[in-house]
Amino acid sequence: MNLRKALLLALAASSIGAGPAWACSSCGCTLNSDWASQGYAVSRGWRFDLRYDYFNQSDLRSGRDSVDVSSFEVPNEEEIQRTTINRNISLGFDYSPSRSWGITVLLPRYDRWHSTLAEDTTELSYSHSRGIGDARIVGRYQGFNPDAGFGVVFGLKLPTGATDIRFNAGPEQGERVDAGLQPGTGSTDALVGLYQFGNLNPEWGYFAQALLQQPLNSHDDFKPGTGINLNAGLRYNGWKVVSPQLQVNLRSERRESGDNADAENSGATLAYLSPGVNFRFNAHWDGYLYTQFPLYQRVNGLQLEPERFYSVGLQYRM
Protein backbone atom coordinates (compact mmCIF):
# COMPACT_ATOMS: atom_id res chain seq x y z
CA MET A 1 0.00 0.00 0.00
CA ASN A 2 1.39 3.39 -0.88
CA LEU A 3 1.40 6.17 1.69
CA ARG A 4 -1.27 8.24 0.02
CA LYS A 5 -3.81 5.45 0.36
CA ALA A 6 -2.88 4.66 3.96
CA LEU A 7 -3.19 8.26 5.02
CA LEU A 8 -6.52 8.61 3.26
CA LEU A 9 -7.71 5.54 5.09
CA ALA A 10 -6.32 6.10 8.57
CA LEU A 11 -8.85 9.85 8.23
CA ALA A 12 -9.86 9.65 7.64
CA ALA A 13 -10.20 10.00 8.49
CA SER A 14 -10.31 10.71 6.88
CA SER A 15 -12.89 11.88 4.97
CA ILE A 16 -15.21 14.81 4.68
CA GLY A 17 -14.55 18.37 5.35
CA ALA A 18 -12.57 18.91 8.45
CA GLY A 19 -9.12 18.53 9.84
CA PRO A 20 -9.66 15.23 11.65
CA ALA A 21 -11.11 13.62 8.60
CA TRP A 22 -7.97 14.41 6.64
CA ALA A 23 -5.37 13.55 9.19
CA CYS A 24 -4.36 10.42 7.40
CA SER A 25 -4.74 11.85 4.06
CA SER A 26 -2.14 10.01 2.13
CA CYS A 27 -2.39 6.28 2.53
CA GLY A 28 -4.86 4.22 4.44
CA CYS A 29 -7.27 5.55 6.95
CA THR A 30 -10.73 7.01 6.47
CA LEU A 31 -11.33 7.52 10.15
CA ASN A 32 -13.77 10.27 11.08
CA SER A 33 -12.43 11.45 14.45
CA ASP A 34 -14.82 14.37 14.98
CA TRP A 35 -18.32 14.83 13.66
CA ALA A 36 -18.63 18.43 14.80
CA SER A 37 -15.71 19.83 12.83
CA GLN A 38 -16.78 17.96 9.73
CA GLY A 39 -20.14 19.62 9.54
CA TYR A 40 -21.90 17.43 12.07
CA ALA A 41 -22.73 20.45 14.21
CA VAL A 42 -24.49 23.71 13.56
CA SER A 43 -22.70 26.05 15.97
CA ARG A 44 -20.85 29.10 14.69
CA GLY A 45 -17.23 30.02 15.35
CA TRP A 46 -13.71 28.59 15.24
CA ARG A 47 -12.53 25.06 15.98
CA PHE A 48 -8.97 23.74 16.05
CA ASP A 49 -7.82 20.13 15.88
CA LEU A 50 -4.41 18.58 16.59
CA ARG A 51 -4.14 14.90 15.72
CA TYR A 52 -1.41 12.23 15.85
CA ASP A 53 -1.62 9.03 13.79
CA TYR A 54 0.61 5.97 13.96
CA PHE A 55 0.55 2.96 11.66
CA ASN A 56 3.15 0.41 10.65
CA GLN A 57 2.76 -0.96 7.12
CA SER A 58 4.46 -4.33 7.52
CA ASP A 59 1.95 -6.79 6.05
CA LEU A 60 2.93 -7.52 2.44
CA ARG A 61 -0.18 -8.50 0.50
CA SER A 62 -1.22 -9.61 -2.96
CA GLY A 63 -4.89 -9.67 -3.85
CA ARG A 64 -6.71 -10.58 -0.64
CA ASP A 65 -3.88 -12.56 0.96
CA SER A 66 -0.75 -11.93 2.99
CA VAL A 67 2.52 -12.89 1.33
CA ASP A 68 5.52 -14.47 3.08
CA VAL A 69 8.50 -12.24 2.29
CA SER A 70 10.88 -15.18 2.73
CA SER A 71 9.22 -16.96 -0.21
CA PHE A 72 10.85 -14.56 -2.70
CA GLU A 73 14.20 -15.34 -4.26
CA VAL A 74 16.88 -12.67 -3.79
CA PRO A 75 17.77 -10.87 -5.96
CA ASN A 76 14.34 -10.59 -7.55
CA GLU A 77 13.09 -8.99 -10.76
CA GLU A 78 10.48 -6.99 -8.84
CA GLU A 79 10.66 -4.71 -5.80
CA ILE A 80 9.78 -6.30 -2.45
CA GLN A 81 8.81 -3.67 0.11
CA ARG A 82 9.57 -4.54 3.73
CA THR A 83 8.05 -1.92 6.02
CA THR A 84 6.84 1.68 6.20
CA ILE A 85 6.43 3.25 9.66
CA ASN A 86 4.26 6.38 9.76
CA ARG A 87 4.12 8.93 12.58
CA ASN A 88 1.98 11.79 11.33
CA ILE A 89 0.66 15.00 12.82
CA SER A 90 -2.10 17.16 11.37
CA LEU A 91 -3.37 20.58 12.34
CA GLY A 92 -6.91 21.49 11.35
CA PHE A 93 -8.60 24.91 11.33
CA ASP A 94 -12.38 25.03 10.99
CA TYR A 95 -14.58 28.14 10.80
CA SER A 96 -18.38 28.37 10.61
CA PRO A 97 -19.70 31.90 9.94
CA SER A 98 -23.27 30.57 10.14
CA ARG A 99 -25.16 27.35 10.81
CA SER A 100 -25.29 26.69 7.06
CA TRP A 101 -21.71 27.37 5.92
CA GLY A 102 -18.27 26.25 7.03
CA ILE A 103 -14.69 25.93 5.80
CA THR A 104 -11.81 23.72 6.92
CA VAL A 105 -8.07 23.90 6.26
CA LEU A 106 -5.83 20.91 7.07
CA LEU A 107 -2.05 21.04 7.26
CA PRO A 108 -0.44 17.57 7.64
CA ARG A 109 3.15 16.81 8.63
CA TYR A 110 4.56 13.37 7.81
CA ASP A 111 7.36 11.42 9.46
CA ARG A 112 7.91 8.22 7.50
CA TRP A 113 10.61 5.55 7.68
CA HIS A 114 10.64 3.15 4.74
CA SER A 115 12.67 0.08 3.80
CA THR A 116 12.53 -1.97 0.61
CA LEU A 117 14.44 -4.54 -1.40
CA ALA A 118 14.77 -2.94 -4.81
CA GLU A 119 14.80 -4.87 -8.07
CA ASP A 120 17.92 -6.99 -8.63
CA THR A 121 19.46 -6.08 -5.26
CA THR A 122 20.32 -8.22 -2.24
CA GLU A 123 20.39 -5.54 0.47
CA LEU A 124 17.71 -3.25 1.83
CA SER A 125 17.45 0.41 0.87
CA TYR A 126 16.15 2.97 3.37
CA SER A 127 14.51 6.38 3.34
CA HIS A 128 13.33 8.71 6.11
CA SER A 129 11.13 11.59 5.04
CA ARG A 130 9.91 14.40 7.29
CA GLY A 131 7.93 17.41 6.21
CA ILE A 132 4.67 19.04 5.24
CA GLY A 133 2.25 17.05 3.09
CA ASP A 134 -0.49 18.22 0.75
CA ALA A 135 -2.81 20.80 2.32
CA ARG A 136 -6.58 20.61 1.93
CA ILE A 137 -9.14 23.39 1.81
CA VAL A 138 -12.75 22.20 2.01
CA GLY A 139 -16.01 24.13 2.24
CA ARG A 140 -19.38 22.77 3.30
CA TYR A 141 -23.02 23.77 3.05
CA GLN A 142 -25.74 22.27 5.24
CA GLY A 143 -28.63 24.69 4.88
CA PHE A 144 -30.95 22.36 2.98
CA ASN A 145 -33.29 21.74 5.93
CA PRO A 146 -33.96 23.32 9.35
CA ASP A 147 -31.95 20.80 11.40
CA ALA A 148 -28.89 21.13 9.09
CA GLY A 149 -28.53 17.35 9.15
CA PHE A 150 -27.70 16.97 5.46
CA GLY A 151 -24.78 18.68 3.78
CA VAL A 152 -22.40 18.77 0.84
CA VAL A 153 -18.65 19.40 0.79
CA PHE A 154 -16.41 20.73 -1.97
CA GLY A 155 -12.77 21.70 -2.06
CA LEU A 156 -9.23 21.07 -3.21
CA LYS A 157 -6.15 19.15 -2.19
CA LEU A 158 -3.18 21.36 -3.02
CA PRO A 159 0.34 20.24 -4.09
CA THR A 160 2.21 21.59 -1.05
CA GLY A 161 4.08 18.39 -0.14
CA ALA A 162 7.55 17.44 -1.35
CA THR A 163 7.88 15.06 -4.30
CA ASP A 164 11.68 14.66 -4.40
CA ILE A 165 12.53 12.58 -1.29
CA ARG A 166 15.43 10.18 -1.96
CA PHE A 167 16.81 7.02 -0.37
CA ASN A 168 19.48 7.82 2.21
CA ALA A 169 21.06 4.37 2.64
CA GLY A 170 21.45 1.06 0.82
CA PRO A 171 21.90 0.18 -2.86
CA GLU A 172 19.32 2.81 -3.92
CA GLN A 173 20.98 5.65 -1.98
CA GLY A 174 20.49 8.92 -3.86
CA GLU A 175 17.64 7.56 -6.00
CA ARG A 176 14.17 9.07 -5.72
CA VAL A 177 11.63 7.22 -3.59
CA ASP A 178 8.56 5.95 -5.48
CA ALA A 179 6.04 8.70 -6.27
CA GLY A 180 3.32 6.96 -4.26
CA LEU A 181 5.48 7.19 -1.11
CA GLN A 182 6.33 10.89 -1.37
CA PRO A 183 4.78 13.34 1.14
CA GLY A 184 2.98 15.03 -1.76
CA THR A 185 1.52 13.82 -5.04
CA GLY A 186 2.29 16.98 -7.03
CA SER A 187 -1.32 17.07 -8.21
CA THR A 188 -4.27 19.30 -7.42
CA ASP A 189 -7.29 17.14 -6.56
CA ALA A 190 -10.97 18.04 -6.53
CA LEU A 191 -12.88 16.92 -3.42
CA VAL A 192 -16.67 16.50 -3.61
CA GLY A 193 -18.92 14.74 -1.15
CA LEU A 194 -22.08 14.65 0.93
CA TYR A 195 -23.05 13.64 4.45
CA GLN A 196 -26.06 12.95 6.65
CA PHE A 197 -26.17 12.93 10.46
CA GLY A 198 -28.82 12.84 13.15
CA ASN A 199 -30.15 11.08 16.24
CA LEU A 200 -31.89 7.72 16.31
CA ASN A 201 -33.13 8.55 19.83
CA PRO A 202 -31.93 10.79 22.70
CA GLU A 203 -28.99 8.45 23.43
CA TRP A 204 -27.82 7.28 20.00
CA GLY A 205 -26.55 9.35 17.08
CA TYR A 206 -25.47 8.33 13.59
CA PHE A 207 -23.66 9.66 10.53
CA ALA A 208 -22.99 8.59 6.95
CA GLN A 209 -20.71 10.24 4.42
CA ALA A 210 -19.32 9.77 0.92
CA LEU A 211 -16.39 11.53 -0.73
CA LEU A 212 -14.89 11.53 -4.22
CA GLN A 213 -11.26 12.60 -4.68
CA GLN A 214 -10.42 13.26 -8.34
CA PRO A 215 -6.89 14.32 -9.41
CA LEU A 216 -7.09 17.16 -11.92
CA ASN A 217 -3.55 16.98 -13.30
CA SER A 218 -0.33 15.00 -13.28
CA HIS A 219 3.12 16.00 -12.04
CA ASP A 220 6.45 14.67 -13.27
CA ASP A 221 4.70 11.90 -15.24
CA PHE A 222 2.72 10.75 -12.20
CA LYS A 223 -1.02 10.96 -11.53
CA PRO A 224 -2.72 9.42 -8.48
CA GLY A 225 -5.75 7.21 -8.90
CA THR A 226 -9.29 8.40 -8.29
CA GLY A 227 -10.44 7.57 -4.75
CA ILE A 228 -13.86 7.07 -3.16
CA ASN A 229 -14.47 6.96 0.61
CA LEU A 230 -17.68 5.71 2.26
CA ASN A 231 -18.05 5.98 6.04
CA ALA A 232 -20.83 5.31 8.52
CA GLY A 233 -20.93 5.35 12.30
CA LEU A 234 -22.88 5.23 15.54
CA ARG A 235 -22.15 6.95 18.83
CA TYR A 236 -23.63 6.75 22.31
CA ASN A 237 -24.57 10.10 23.88
CA GLY A 238 -25.93 8.85 27.21
CA TRP A 239 -22.86 9.85 29.23
CA LYS A 240 -21.76 13.42 29.88
CA VAL A 241 -17.98 13.06 29.59
CA VAL A 242 -17.40 9.99 27.40
CA SER A 243 -18.99 9.16 24.02
CA PRO A 244 -18.11 5.70 22.61
CA GLN A 245 -18.26 5.41 18.83
CA LEU A 246 -18.07 2.69 16.22
CA GLN A 247 -17.43 3.28 12.52
CA VAL A 248 -17.17 1.29 9.32
CA ASN A 249 -14.78 2.87 6.80
CA LEU A 250 -14.56 1.87 3.13
CA ARG A 251 -12.14 3.09 0.48
CA SER A 252 -11.64 2.21 -3.17
CA GLU A 253 -8.78 3.67 -5.18
CA ARG A 254 -7.97 3.16 -8.85
CA ARG A 255 -4.47 2.55 -10.15
CA GLU A 256 -2.07 5.47 -10.47
CA SER A 257 -0.84 6.35 -13.96
CA GLY A 258 2.12 7.89 -15.78
CA ASP A 259 5.67 6.90 -16.64
CA ASN A 260 6.77 7.37 -13.01
CA ALA A 261 3.78 5.53 -11.55
CA ASP A 262 3.88 2.00 -10.18
CA ALA A 263 0.56 1.16 -11.81
CA GLU A 264 0.92 -2.60 -11.37
CA ASN A 265 1.28 -2.25 -7.59
CA SER A 266 -1.31 0.45 -6.91
CA GLY A 267 -5.04 0.64 -6.39
CA ALA A 268 -7.06 -1.24 -3.78
CA THR A 269 -10.41 -1.82 -2.11
CA LEU A 270 -10.27 -1.66 1.70
CA ALA A 271 -12.74 -1.91 4.59
CA TYR A 272 -12.05 -1.11 8.24
CA LEU A 273 -13.81 -1.27 11.61
CA SER A 274 -12.96 1.70 13.84
CA PRO A 275 -13.92 1.71 17.53
CA GLY A 276 -13.12 4.82 19.51
CA VAL A 277 -14.11 7.22 22.24
CA ASN A 278 -14.50 10.99 22.51
CA PHE A 279 -13.95 12.89 25.77
CA ARG A 280 -15.64 16.18 26.72
CA PHE A 281 -13.25 17.87 29.17
CA ASN A 282 -15.14 21.17 29.39
CA ALA A 283 -17.04 23.63 27.20
CA HIS A 284 -13.99 24.28 25.02
CA TRP A 285 -11.77 21.18 25.06
CA ASP A 286 -12.42 17.69 23.66
CA GLY A 287 -10.16 14.70 23.16
CA TYR A 288 -10.43 11.46 21.22
CA LEU A 289 -8.77 8.08 20.89
CA TYR A 290 -9.38 5.60 18.06
CA THR A 291 -8.01 2.43 16.59
CA GLN A 292 -8.77 0.83 13.23
CA PHE A 293 -8.84 -2.85 12.23
CA PRO A 294 -8.99 -4.24 8.69
CA LEU A 295 -12.15 -6.13 7.75
CA TYR A 296 -11.35 -6.61 4.06
CA GLN A 297 -8.27 -5.83 1.97
CA ARG A 298 -7.85 -6.39 -1.76
CA VAL A 299 -4.81 -4.85 -3.41
CA ASN A 300 -3.38 -4.88 -6.91
CA GLY A 301 0.08 -6.40 -7.27
CA LEU A 302 2.26 -6.36 -4.14
CA GLN A 303 1.52 -3.72 -1.51
CA LEU A 304 2.24 -3.13 2.16
CA GLU A 305 -0.78 -2.80 4.42
CA PRO A 306 -1.02 -1.91 8.12
CA GLU A 307 -2.69 -4.30 10.54
CA ARG A 308 -3.72 -1.48 12.91
CA PHE A 309 -4.13 2.30 12.91
CA TYR A 310 -3.94 4.40 16.07
CA SER A 311 -5.17 7.99 16.36
CA VAL A 312 -5.23 10.41 19.29
CA GLY A 313 -6.15 14.07 19.25
CA LEU A 314 -7.28 17.25 20.95
CA GLN A 315 -9.87 19.78 19.81
CA TYR A 316 -10.54 23.33 20.96
CA ARG A 317 -13.69 25.34 20.30
CA MET A 318 -13.74 29.11 20.72
Structure confidence by residue, pLDDT tens digits, 86-133: 999 999 999 999 989 999 999 999 999 999 999 999 999 999 999 999
Distances (CA, A) of 1 to 7, 89, 133: 10, 20, 17
Task: Specify the CATH number for the domain of residue 213.
Answer: 2.40.128.130
Residue 38 pLDDT class (50, 70, 90 cuts): very low
- Residues comprising the chain, all counted: 318
Assessment of whether the complete model's pTM goes beyond 0.75: yes
pLDDT cut 70: percent of the chain above it:
87
Classified as helix, coil or strand, 8 is: helix
Contact between residue 33 and residue 288 where contact means Cβ atoms under 8 Å apart: yes
CA distance 228 to 150: 19
Average pLDDT over residues 33-42: 51
Residue 19 pLDDT class (50, 70, 90 cuts): very low
In the 8-state DSSP scheme, what is residue 181? G
Please report the DSSP string for 287-309 in residue order: EEEEEEEEEEEEEEEEEEEES-E
Structure confidence by residue, pLDDT tens digits, 190-227: 999 999 998 999 999 999 999 999 999 999 999 999 99
Distances (CA, A) of 308 to 62, 65, 129, 219, 296: 18, 16, 21, 31, 13
CA distance 182 to 12: 19
Instruction: Please state, rounded to an integer, the average pLDDT across all residues of the chain.
Output: 88
The boundaries of the domain holding residue 191 are 3-317
Number of folded domains that form the chain? 1
Classified as helix, coil or strand, 283 is: coil
